[in-house]
Amino acid sequence: MFYEPENGHGLPHNPFNALIVPRPIAWITTRDANGCDNLAPYSFFNGVAYDPPQVMFATTSGKSDRELGKDTLDNIRQTGVFCVHMVSEDMTEAMNVSAASFGREVNEINEAGLDRVECQTINAARLPAAPAALECKLTQITQLPGNANHVCFGEVTGIHMRDDCIVDGAFDITRARPLARLGYRDYTVVRDKFTLSRPGE
């Protein structure tokens, strides 16, 4: 089939998200100017540069009482920092709890029953149980066409990797078993891998 998004797809559910898969999940902690922590997952996320390391995530919906639509972006605008966590398979339920639409005064880290420690290079909470975490400082927030669509870019200032996920000097994705987003309400888990050498190597 073929369709033009502006004319609709005629299907029971929008297939767009199901075509860009699997998507890594950025489980992001932020802190507002009053010291209240926030935790939320975002699946429009990826690395965008290697040296210096930089990441991006996008938000596509909003809350009417937030200047930038979401608590996460509002907090980042206030403080200029955020911490991105990898979600492991055993953290799936906690991640889902943190996706609920809580009020600004609710701490999703507590609601999800997670432990926290302080980041080392930024003023934000970190989830020590996560296989990996990226401490980031804001570089820019860009508004996109559409309602409440924003992209946030950050430079990575500190990287945490759980020791049990490091094997022979490399981060072992099969030990981390990261959760990834598919389309609709579907997810998958990375449990295996294979290696390809580039032509000429």
pLDDT digit string, tens, across residues 83-135: 999 999 999 999 999 999 888 889 999 999 999 999 999 999 999 999 999 99
How much of the chain, in percent, has pLDDT values that exceed 70? 96
CATH T-level topology, domain 19-189? Pnp Oxidase; Chain A (2.30.110)
Give the start-to-end residue ranges of the domains of the chain.
Answer: 19-189
Question: What tens digit of pLDDT does each residue of 46-91 get?
Answer: 999 999 999 999 998 765 445 555 899 999 999 999 999 999 999 9
pTM: 0.94
- DSSP string over 58-85: EE----TTSTTSSHHHHHHHHHSEEEEE
Does residue 68 contact residue 24 with C-beta atoms inside 8 Å?
A: no
pLDDT at 201: 86
Q: Are 82 and 29 in contact (CB under 8 A)?
A: yes
Nearest-angstrom CA–CA distance, 172 and 190? 11
